[in-house]
Amino acid sequence: MKLYIDPSTGSMMFSLAVGLFSVIWFGARKLYMKLKYLAPGNTKKDAKAIPFVIFSDNKRYWKNFEPVVRELDKRGVDMVYLTASEDDPALSAPYMHLRGQFIGTGNKPFAKMNLLNATLVLATTPGLDVYQWKRSKDVKWYVHMQHGANEMTTYRMFGMDYYDGLLVSGQYQIDDTRALEKLRNIGPKEMVLVGIPYMDDIVNRLKKSPAPAHETTVLVAPSWGESTILRKFGGRIIEVLLATGYHIIIRPHPQSYITEMDMLEPILKAYPASDQLEWNTDLDNFDVMNRSDILISDFSGTIYEFALAFDKPVICMDTKFDDSPYDAWWLDTPRWSTTAIPRLGQILTEENMENLKTMIDECLNDEKYRELRREVSAETWVYPGEGAVRVADYLEGKYHELTGESLRREDN
């Protein structure tokens, strides 16, 4: 009799096995680095802790951090910004109190972060103390700020478990996290509702740069991985969209150009850019979203930016999302996005693909979607317009709580 393991359980077991191996490997590597660092002739200096560090594992998260940096800079708070991107915009940003530093690619940034001496660290990177990024014994407090407007349970398993504090934008995120803490028997994290600073920035930019005159434009902006639009539909969806007569913009996820060229390159060759079809790779997605009327996506966080900040309809693919590698697998309650996305527009399947033009037209013209977008926004975007101020208030307050001192320079 053969032992049968269903695909979902098998995927979960594989993820756990990979996680265990990674913990052992990076734990051994960290021990080696410490022993090497403390060897005779290489003694550790009694360095003073950096008061406040921002860590970014990719330049695309500058949009998340900049509103907070701007607010802290106005307050005279010095910031050390450590980035894993050599061309991160933060490195040339014109803020007096920001000191940017490129700390390498691959495993190098994490090796440096593992030995960091700092009081307070702000990051959007999940998986602290799970894979290669380990908590440094010389850091007092790690706080996570979201880089999207949806649930936090679609991070890989244990993605938030070892942070000290989480800055969130909706009560359901707190509820999900508390449920995971109870299931895993881990202590409660400090969780504070602050809003979404980068989406506040989008709204402010829109006031200064309203959408230019343009023909009806459809933006296709998928996530990356196995359960995404381009993986599932390939060139078929492009054929159907071109038949609508609308202007089509396709914006693959940046990660697809790194790890999915086997899938992407044949599509790029089969459907080159033309007057009707545009491929977009801008680092900043504001302009392309501003001149688009409707978004087609899967489970990308772009959905919420487009629907809530730009106040435009979306069509989302029915991805049959496999949650087995993610924190969502642990919970009996449905993911918040499964209730939110159907209210933002329509759901695309293989069966209704040929009716895509009709779906687009209905989403553009039916006012009910506008009201439903407001409903979704209220659930996942608290304190609109106040995000950066609330994050800055939290960081200053936490630093004072930890040290009894102020983050602001005395000469400001």
The mean pLDDT of 224-244, rounded to a whole number, is: 90
Compute the average pLDDT of residues 226-242: 91
What is residue 76's predicted lDDT score, i.e. its pLDDT? Answer: 97
For the segment 35-42, the average pLDDT, to the nearest whole number, is: 40
Percentage of the chain beyond pLDDT 90 is 70
Give the separation between CA 72 and CA 79, rounded to whole angstroms.
8
Q: pLDDT value at position 13?
A: 55
- pLDDT tens digits, 357-387: 999 999 999 999 999 999 999 999 999 999 9
What would the DSSP string read from start to end of 118-173? EEEEEE----TTTSS----TTEEEEEEE-SSSS-STTSBTTTTTT-SEEEES-HHH
Query: Cα 258 from chain centroid?
Result: 17
Buried b (16+ CB within 10 A) or exposed e, 113-141: bbbbbbbbbbbbbbbbbbbbbbbbeebbb
The pair of structure tokens assigned to 174 is: 């707190």
pLDDT tens-digit profile of 268-315?
999 999 999 999 999 889 999 999 999 999 877 789 999 999 999 999
Give 343-361 pLDDT, tens digit per residue: 999 999 989 999 999 999 9
154-172: average pLDDT = 93
Give me the chain's average pLDDT, please: 88
Task: Give CA torsion, residues 132, 145, 224, 184, to 10 deg.
Answer: 60
What is the 8-class DSSP label of residue 307?
I
Which of the residue ranges 25-39, 69-83, 91-105, 121-135 would you say has the lowest mean pLDDT? 25-39
Among the listed residues 128, 138, 116, 114, the one whose alpha carbon sits nearest the alpha carbon of residue 164: 128
Radius of gyration of the chain (CA): 22
Asked if residues 399 and 119 have their Cβ atoms less than 8 Å apart, the reply is yes
Is residue 55 within 8 Å of 122, Cβ to Cβ? yes
